[in-house]
Amino acid sequence: MPSNAIIDLITALWLGFIGACIGSFLNVVAYRMPLGMSVIWKPSHCPKCNHAIRPYDNVPIFGWLWLKGKCRDCGEPISPRYAIVEFVMGLAFFVLAYAELFSGGANLPGGPITEFTGAVNNFLVPNWPLIGVYAYHCTLLCLLMIIVLVDIDGYRVPLKIVFFGVLLAVICSSNWSYLYPHRDRAAKFGIALSDSHADALLGILASLPGLLVYAFMLISRKKQPFSHVPLNYGVALGLTGIMLGHWAGWLTFLFGGSATAIIVRLNKHRNESSVLRMVSSVWLGTFGIILFWRPIVGLFP
Ligand SMILES: [Zn+2]
């Protein structure tokens, strides 16, 4: 009988592998959606020679490594970005499994939602509210990753992604209020936030500063070529707000926004790479806030 620590590790590695596979899918979505291509109906193929990718070369991260970053058919280099996205998503699912799922929700602002810890008690014997919180947060990180990739490629965030995120938040806040764990915490301060709808709606408000940046860019559009970055940034903040609730929404803007401001300030020439980090900072900020939600909330009296 293996020890609980080993079962935890195997389960986390398995969830990490699922995350890497989803990361592989996100690469495809981010590449095809802005071009109006079907996301599901056409199997993966080399963008240069159009040969279908063999199933054994399509294994996340490792496929790229054993092909040494080159297409098996035409030898053209394949961007390391595919493997990096798979690795980042795999790592996020892995880390969050320990920090959220196996800890019984110890990272959540109201504290753990169960006294049980470990993969056996919370995942293999399903604790649905906890698995729901984990899946909800993983989904948010996936949606944000699509926006990051689309943004790097210089496109506007696809409307389908926005609709999907908002619809998901409406359904989830209507049916499973435990997906908005800050409500209980807010009640302790006498804030009437018993409703998860209210939390989700206030979360959207938290993206307003980001949208103001967008409006400002629109006004000054005449002087410079219009960029999709402010819109993508505002949408990424809005999605975080509506899916995590008002508190996390503001925090993301605060931490992600100030990190971006510092980077842009340090980089005197506002080149592509400095602007690019604007949406990436929302992904990193959101991931950080999910991981350290409780200690961060504890900093505020
Ligand atoms: Zn090829």
Mean pLDDT of the chain: 82
Ligand 1 centroid from CA 234, angstroms: 36
pLDDT greater than 70 at residue 239: yes
Of 137, 199, 192, the residue nearest 173 (C-alpha): 199
Helices 4-32, 81-96: inter-axial angle, 10-degree rounding = 140
Give ion ligand 1 contacts, CB < 5 A.
Answer: 46, 48-49, 71, 73-74
pLDDT band at residue 211, thresholds of 50, 70 and 90?
low
Alpha carbons 39 and 33: distance in angstroms, whole number: 7
Kindly state the tokens that stand for 134: 């984990």
Task: Identify the pLDDT of residue 84.
Answer: 92
Domain carrying residue 294: 4-298
Which residues, at least 6 apart from 31, have a Cβ–Cβ distance to it below 8 Å?
Answer: 47, 149, 153
Range scoring the smallest mean pLDDT among 29-43, 82-96, 252-266: 252-266
Ligand 1 centroid from CA 74, angstroms: 4
Ligand 1 centroid from CA 58, angstroms: 13
* Residue that wins the pLDDT comparison between 4 and 252: 4
Task: Identify the pLDDT of residue 174.
Answer: 83
Ligand 1 centroid from CA 80, angstroms: 15
Please check whether residue 130 is in contact with residue 104, taking contact to mean a CB–CB distance below 8 angstroms: yes
This prediction's pTM = 0.87
pLDDT greater than 80 at residue 96: yes
pLDDT over 70 for what percent of the chain? 80
pLDDT greater than 80 at residue 205: no
pLDDT greater than 80 at residue 283: yes
Task: Identify the pLDDT of residue 183.
Answer: 67
Residue 275 CB neighbour total at 10 angstroms: 18
Task: Identify the pLDDT of residue 111.
Answer: 84
Ligand 1 centroid from CA 76, angstroms: 6
For the chain, the domain total comes to 1
Please check whether residue 26 is in contact with residue 138, taking contact to mean a CB–CB distance below 8 angstroms: no
Q: Averaging pLDDT over each range in 3-7, 107-111, 135-139, 282-286, which range is the top one?
A: 135-139
